[in-house]
Structure 1
Amino acid sequence: MTTPPDSQTAQPDPTSDKLDAGVLKVAGVVVLGAIMSILDITVVTIALPTFQNTFHATYAIAAWSMTGYTLALATVIPLTGWAADRFGTKRLYMMALTFFVLGSLLCSTAWNIESLIAFRVIQGLGGGMLMPLGMTIMTHAAGPQRIGRVMAVLGVPMLLGPILGPILGGWLIDVHWFGMAGWHWIFLINVPIGALSLILSYVVFAPDRPEPSETFDFVGMLLASPGLALFLFGVSSIPEKHTVLASRVLIPAIVGLVLMVAFVLHALRTDHPLIDVHLFRNRSLTFAVLTMVFFAVAFFGAGLLLPSYLQQVRGLTPLHAGLLIAPQGLGAMLTMPIAGRLVDKIGPGRIVLTGLVVIGIGTAFLTQLHADTSYGLLMAALFVMGLGMGCTMMPVMTAAIQTLTHAQVARGTTLMNIVNQTAGSIGTAVMSVVLTNLLNSKPLAQPAIASRFDPAIAKQFPPGALAAGFDQAATAFAHTFVVAVALVVVTLIPAYFLPKVKPAAPQDSADAPIMMGH
């Protein structure tokens, strides 16, 4: 299929080795939507104590505003590849944006914690599709020769979201505009950004030209979506229950695993499965998926530790903690564009290995945390970690997608986003359980942390005991970072097998950049 002559000039130039204006416009629109959806996750994390106080809910109940969003993401992501093929990426992207903005508006009107959780689910139904669809649209726009560079552009919100989220959240929660408390504005801010994204996506993205669709894998949907959601529900319950042996953890996780195994067996016998497991015949994608699994467990799991250390052990506000973590994003911003160019020229293998070694060096410093560790040294370690992250996350995504044909891109990005979401949830649960067990093993650690939020507890400590409690808590955080370092080292194994030369272009890439919207 080719583009009609009258619209040919509006399309990005697939023969160019540079990111021309057409590709940059597409990338800008996609990044705007990605920033909105990713920031929303971290901003709501900061707001959980506010939800507890406002709605008189326990932390476990308030946390469902996060869990409900995650489960909605898990339910809808498997459908994205088929729906993109069936309806076209532009149309589906605009629908996902609409759901996300509508959910945001409804969240701002929540009258109790139950209504907030329900509206967060609506938000997640849209948010789950934004990232895989954005990756598909950008890949089609740029063509196989420039995937590394456009993935580097999309990687900016993925790395900056966890850093800017606490800063933005800490600021918004403190404001009172038009008679509304700050927690309303963490959702309302999405409305103008989402409306702008809708207008720009309508103007900038190429028109959809859906082709005859494959048969919808209804059996696959009944197995994959609830299987993934149940598994993530079980995993997400681990921090609350403090053990993997709780029935609320084991039962849904095991049922979810059984459903996912059944889906894989079904998909291997189906020509057009909901999630294309046949893609694992592609060696580059297989090792990229394995690398992403271990990296996401380490990265997203460890990502929760330092903000908690800064607030619970050092007594900083969420805003100040977010500002201290900002050097990580600055480091990533420096190396990400360079890594993107190099991946397009020499392949992802050497770039990812270098990035993982640098991340390991930065994270190793955090295994030596104390209750009075210099903030300057902490920021330096985070900057080093950021330099490595800029060479890791999106080059791994590029390794998976670079060798896919145009027809496989939507399914490939869906698969990578499922892996990313699942591994991130596992990482968060693993690090939470390790940290909780280490804190519980130190008699003064938990009371010291509690004293940060209740001054009356601090008065109960004998002289010197409070400082000893913070030392014990810092040691627990430091030892948890040892697990993160170990996971980074394990990630080097699959990363070693990523392509160390630029892979050959996929066979049907000649018309891929022209067909941006299926």
Structure 2
Amino acid sequence: MSSKLRWTIAVILLGGLLGILNSTMAAVATGTLAAAFDTSLSTIGWASTGFLLAVTATIPFTTWAVDRYGGKRLWVAGLVLFLAGSLAAGLAWNVGSLIAFRVVQGVGAGLLDPLVLILLARAAGPRRAGRVMGLMGVVLSLGPVLGPIAGGAILGALTWRAMFLISVAVGVVALVLALRVIPADEPAPSREAGPSRLDVVGLALLGPGFAAVVLALSQTAEQGAFGVWQVLAPLGLGVVLLIGYGAHARHPGPLIDLRLFRSRSFTASVTIMGLGGMGLFAGLFALPLYYQQAHGHDVLAAGLLMAPLGLGGSIAMPLAGRLSDRLGARGLAAGGGVVAVASVLALTRIGPDTAEVWPALAAFTFGLGSGCFSAPTMGSLYRTLPGPMVAQGSSVLYMLNQLGAALGVALVTLVVQTADSTIAGLRGVFWLAVVSNLVVLALIPFLPGKVRAPEPVREGAHA
């Protein structure tokens, strides 16, 4: 791998880390922000919910825009939007302005997040897809763990405004490096790849449809119940919009061609990553609750005790990704799935008298197992997708991963709130994680066993 390619990958990963760190830091600051603006926790929660919805709704647009305007131009635009939102959020004067500026941040992150996968896949090529996706996995593993730790440390030493302004400083560095390092690319029309016209109807159905479903899951977590109008209304709207997109996608030139799912390896890959996101975020929310409720630790200490989970993933993903380029995804992913199931089974046995070292060790091995099936799975996705389909595949992957993460958080809240005790609820959460990882194991045989050429797209699927 050349030094130029290494620099390109590093700069892309830095930009990808921005959104993950900022969203997880803001989640830790909910109580602080509510006190600063003299408002309720439910109201200030829209600063995070608005960010998440903006990300989800923007992702399908990125699918089209990356080929229409070029990857580098869109990356720079995403960074500028994110920087503007971060600066404005740090200067917010009331809760309404904060929520609005967090939405601007979310639009920027909605451009950047799928672009990370698209630009990495294009820079690396199919032969190095596993290696590069393994490096991306380090960001995905460490970001959700480092965010709460960094947020707690910043809030302890500085004001909440510093949390957003630090993102500006890091973002400026990422922007300067991106302008210097990321290679320029031509828009798709000049390369005769991808539709030149935006599928406006598809965008109006798909983006809001997924955002509505994510909102329903977020409201499930906030309301602590499923059968309430705050959940059922957005869920019903989201289902109707997504069904409408399914009917619309039969016409030529859809935003995302659903014929992608005719490939068994593609369907298995994105489903595994969605279930993996659900299990990971369930653990990321359940374990801090355990450390706080059962052992009385504060937010920062609980965040530090979460570090083994991210550390395990960050160790496993680059190694598994590199090996998958030579050996294929199936064997590595199966081994990782077995380790993940065994680790979560161990977490179902934790109680108030369990020493912290045991859940920390189980979280570490869970991270190792998840990393061993996630990086090869992502690598296999980009090895089997034809080049013009990479943008669409990345958007599907990221949307389903977002959906899985939101579902994981909602399940943690529902199970814990309806259980007889917090410990019983947390054990129930880990049993759900066992089930999700068993489903992952069942899907792994559909992944490619050996490295092979990209599958042909059937019957003229559109890029």
- Calculate the TM-score normalised by the size of structure 2: 0.94
Count, aligned residues: 453
| 1:505 Cα deviation from its structure 2 partner | 4.3
Contact 2:72 2:182 in 1 (8 A): yes
Contact 1:235 1:426 in 2 (8 A): yes
| 1:153 Cα deviation from its structure 2 partner | 0.9
Task: Give the alignment partner of residue 389 of structure 1, picking from 341, 365, 370.
Answer: 370
Q: Aligned partners of 1:305, 1:423: CA distance in 2, in Å? A: 15
Deviations 1:23-59 (A, max 9, x none): 2111100111111111111111111111122122222
Structure 2 equivalent of residue 448 of structure 1: none
- Structure 1: which amino acid aligns with 2:441? L
Q: Residues 145-184 of structure 1: matches in 2 within 5 Å? A: 145-176=127-158, 181=159, 183-184=160-161
Contact 2:276 2:370 in 1 (8 A): no
Structure 2 equivalent of residue 303 of structure 1: 284
Task: Give the alignment partner of residue 77 of structure 2, picking from 87, 92, 95.
Answer: 95
Contact 1:166 1:321 in 2 (8 A): no
Structure 2 equivalent of residue 249 of structure 1: 231
Task: Give the alignment partner of residue 259 of structure 2, picking from 271, 278, 292.
Answer: 278
Structure 1 equivalent of residue 431 of structure 2: 482
| 1:359 Cα deviation from its structure 2 partner | 1.2
Structure 1 equivalent of residue 196 of structure 2: 214
Deviations 1:410-454 (A, max 9, x none): 11111111111112112211221111111xxx3xxxxxxxxxxxx
Q: Which moved more, 1:206-215 or 1:27-36?
A: 206-215
Q: Aligned partners of 1:53, 1:84: CA distance in 2, in Å? A: 41
Structure 2 equivalent of residue 143 of structure 1: 125
Task: Give the alignment partner of residue 178 of structure 2, picking from 184, 201, 204.
Answer: 201
Task: Give the alignment partner of residue 121 of structure 1, picking from 83, 94, 103.
Answer: 103
Q: Residues 409-424 of structure 1: matches in 2 within 5 Å? A: 409-424=390-405
Q: Aligned partners of 1:20, 1:354: CA distance in 2, in Å? A: 31
Deviations 1:202-239 (A, max 9, x none): 11111121132522111111111221122211221012
Structure 1 equivalent of residue 422 of structure 2: 473
Q: Residues 435-474 of structure 1: matches in 2 within 5 Å? A: 435-438=416-419, 442=420, 472-474=421-423
- Structure 2: which amino acid aligns with 1:499? P
- Structure 2: which amino acid aligns with 1:26? T
Task: Give the alignment partner of residue 411 of structure 2, picking from 419, 425, 430.
Answer: 430
Q: Aligned partners of 2:289, 2:270: CA distance in 1, in Å? A: 29
Task: Give the alignment partner of residue 186 of structure 1, picking from 159, 163, 177.
Answer: 163
Q: Aligned partners of 1:29, 1:404: CA distance in 2, in Å? A: 24
Q: Aligned partners of 2:313, 2:363: CA distance in 1, in Å? A: 10
Q: Aligned partners of 1:386, 1:298: CA distance in 2, in Å? A: 11
Structure 1 equivalent of residue 41 of structure 2: 59
Q: Say if 2:243 is the partner of 1:261.
A: yes
Structure 1 equivalent of residue 460 of structure 2: none
Q: Which moved more, 1:66-75 or 1:476-485?
A: 476-485
- Structure 1: which amino acid aligns with 2:297? L
- Structure 2: which amino acid aligns with 1:437? T
- Structure 1: which amino acid aligns with 2:93? W
Which is greater in Rg? 1
Structure 2 equivalent of residue 31 of structure 1: 13
Q: Say if 2:326 is the partner of 1:345.
A: yes
Residue 338 of structure 1 aligns to a residue in which SS? helix
| CA-atom RMSD in angstroms | 1.7
- Structure 2: which amino acid aligns with 1:373? T
Q: Aligned partners of 1:330, 1:244: CA distance in 2, in Å? A: 34
- Structure 1: which amino acid aligns with 2:107? L
Structure 2 equivalent of residue 511 of structure 1: none
- Structure 2: which amino acid aligns with 1:275? I
| 1:506 Cα deviation from its structure 2 partner | 5.9
Q: Say if 2:19 is the partner of 1:70.
A: no
Deviations 1:369-413 (A, max 9, x none): 211211111221111112112212232222222111111111111
Name the one with the larger helix percent. 2
| 1:76 Cα deviation from its structure 2 partner | 0.3
Q: Say if 2:180 is the partner of 1:231.
A: no
Q: Aligned partners of 1:239, 1:333: CA distance in 2, in Å? A: 28
Residue 196 of structure 2 aligns to a residue in which SS? coil
Judging changes above 3 Å, is the alpha-carbon distance between structure 1 residues 299 and 329 closer, same or farther for their aligned structure 2 residues? closer
Task: Give the alignment partner of residue 269 of structure 2, picking from 278, 282, 288.
Answer: 288
- Structure 2: which amino acid aligns with 1:292? M
- Calculate the TM-score normalised by the size of structure 1: 0.85
Task: Give the alignment partner of residue 379 of structure 1, picking from 350, 360, 368.
Answer: 360
Q: Identify unmatched segments of 5+ residues in structure 1.
A: 1-18, 443-471, 509-517
Deviations 1:87-133 (A, max 9, x none): 00000000001111111111111122222111110000001121211
Q: Which moved more, 1:361-370 or 1:98-107?
A: 361-370
Paired-residue identity, %: 37
Aligned structure 1 segments of 4 or more residues deviating by more than 3 angstroms: 505-508
- Structure 1: which amino acid aligns with 2:423? A
Deviations 1:442-474 (A, max 9, x none): 3xxxxxxxxxxxxxxxxxxxxxxxxxxxxx432
Q: Aligned partners of 1:240, 1:319: CA distance in 2, in Å? A: 23
Contact 1:23 1:138 in 2 (8 A): no
Contact 2:202 2:248 in 1 (8 A): yes
Contact 1:163 1:326 in 2 (8 A): yes
Q: Aligned partners of 2:428, 2:198: CA distance in 1, in Å? A: 48
Q: Aligned partners of 1:114, 1:310: CA distance in 2, in Å? A: 33
Q: Say if 2:448 is the partner of 1:493.
A: no
- Structure 2: which amino acid aligns with 1:336? M
Q: Which moved more, 1:229-238 or 1:69-78?
A: 229-238
Deviations 1:267-289 (A, max 9, x none): 1x222211222211222111112
Residue 138 of structure 1 aligns to a residue in which SS? helix
Contact 1:74 1:225 in 2 (8 A): yes
| 1:310 Cα deviation from its structure 2 partner | 1.3
Residue 381 of structure 1 aligns to a residue in which SS? helix
Contact 1:369 1:475 in 2 (8 A): no
Q: Aligned partners of 1:80, 1:505: CA distance in 2, in Å? A: 23
| 1:170 Cα deviation from its structure 2 partner | 0.8
Q: Aligned partners of 1:217, 1:26: CA distance in 2, in Å? A: 31
Contact 2:188 2:196 in 1 (8 A): no
Structure 2 equivalent of residue 80 of structure 1: 62
- Structure 2: which amino acid aligns with 1:131? D
